[in-house]
Structure 1
Amino acid sequence: MQPHYFLSIDGGGTRCRARLTDRQNHLLAEAVGGPANVWSQFEAALASVEALTERVMTAAGLPPAARAQTAMVAGLAGANVASVKARLADWQPVCASLRVVGDVDIACLGAHQGAPGAALIVGTGSQGVLWDGERFSRVGGWGFALSDHGSGAELGRRTLRLALLAHEGIVPETAFTDRVMGRFDRSPEAMLLWTQRAMPADWGSVVPEVFAAAQAGDPHANQLIQQTADDIALLVRRLMGADGGRLALMGGLAEPVQPWLAPDILAMLVPPLGDALSGAGWLARQD
């Protein structure tokens, strides 16, 4: 029997979003919550999803029994990792059906409305995916310690390292690097202690300052963003191959980084036709 309702979940490293629709694709409710990266914070991520599920059901005025008539597709950061997939097999929220994929997968489906194409998410983390109409091919997505090239978290880490170099006189200090150190009372030790508890989203919190400094002409900020753009190009060229194709660049860095991208990368870009939640909704209706 076809479900009465469709619940789309988009869980990233910074926030989790939920959208509830009916058979006619009418929007019933939406909600936003905390991070939902099942690799870095497995239990907290699932708690975010469950909390958002309750919120949208309540906002839509549906009784608890409606969950058993709901098809859920959850696109979660970190769901591409095999060991995480094994843990997710034991997750059994009350619903008519459940499908868990990576957040980049639903972003790609939403961007191209289910048609073949590619997407590269450059937000707190980064990952690319190519959808050929039947299967996904992916690059990146192996977490902050090993991967996340071209991401906000990686740009933040490079920024803090450079600010510390400038603070110690190893590279020239600028007003920008001094402002970054000011976040830690200009104390390397305070910065060191911060790194012990910092999550990827915390590292990425400095990114708006980097772009503002670049617009003001700071050479360090320009160099940092160019490094990010070069990392994005590295992923795109591997993902797309020599023939190119249609690429949706998505995430918080997608728009501001474009002036630093190489011409061949810019030539591939197409505007997303929909968001990740619409991609999850599309996938839920295929089952």
Structure 2
Amino acid sequence: MRDYGCVFVIDHCGLHHSELTLRQIHMFTAKTVSKHYTLLISFAVYKGQFIASTYLSSVKFDILNPTEKNFHYFWHRLSESVSEKEFPFHCDTVSGWLASGHKTTASFSFLSEEVGIFESFWYFCVPELETEIPFLLVGTVTEPCVHFANTNLQFDSTFTSVKTSVTTHLVNCETVPIMFKFDSYSLYCDQNLEHVIVKPMCGQILPDSDLLISIEYIPTIAGTMNFRLVCTVSFLKNPLYLTVSGTVYNIYPIITCRSSSQTSTVLSMNDVNVIDIEEVSITYVK
């Protein structure tokens, strides 16, 4: 949660502020003098930087009444026709009573699962003083910073039926937890003959931390295998990719028979092998 603090002072009232547009994106302060009263800060813009998430952020600032009168106030939002999905700003305290010489805190909540720039135009209204002061709230929503520590992994060379493994880390650079999930179809190689085991397949990465990801592989055929794992992360438009490759060898036993003439013959694994042992003598020991 991020709070942006500022003191908004109403020094009397009963005047008309200048007309300003939504295109202004910086704090604008003006001193307008009427017949009897003065108003400080006739237009204010509050900007916040957020990430797309399901967690509320807030914009807060203080409102001070230095006058000798108590007054009732309320916040009025423009563009009431905008749907709730397209309107991520909400006023936490729509109205209230502010005593003379006291201050209150105005709070606006912001929540968006979409990436983009959002604007919300409000009026701070004081009926007793016949005053309406415009406020523009701007929220910029970006994708969370989540990535693999290493996106290209290589298994050690191994043999069929011999398990091998490799690890990496999924890093969360944000201050909120982020959910992730690996696509089960991406665990298979291009030929869909071999597959890997990912642990964990899904879960949550804690704020400002990383999570160990283990990839295990028990090959059944020899050759070079390539896997392109797909990991979906909450609030990221595109998934993360993890490339894993490795080389697998087969073990073939070779048995040779050497005769007395030092001639070597390779024995067949599939056919019957005939070995001529020639003449032998029997030694009898009593």
TM-score, structure 1 as length reference: 0.26
Q: Which of the pair is proportionally richer in strand?
A: 2
Relative contact order higher in (CA < 8 Å, ≥ 6 apart): 1
Query: Which one has the bigger helix percentage?
Result: 1
**Structure 2 length normalisation: TM-score?**
0.27
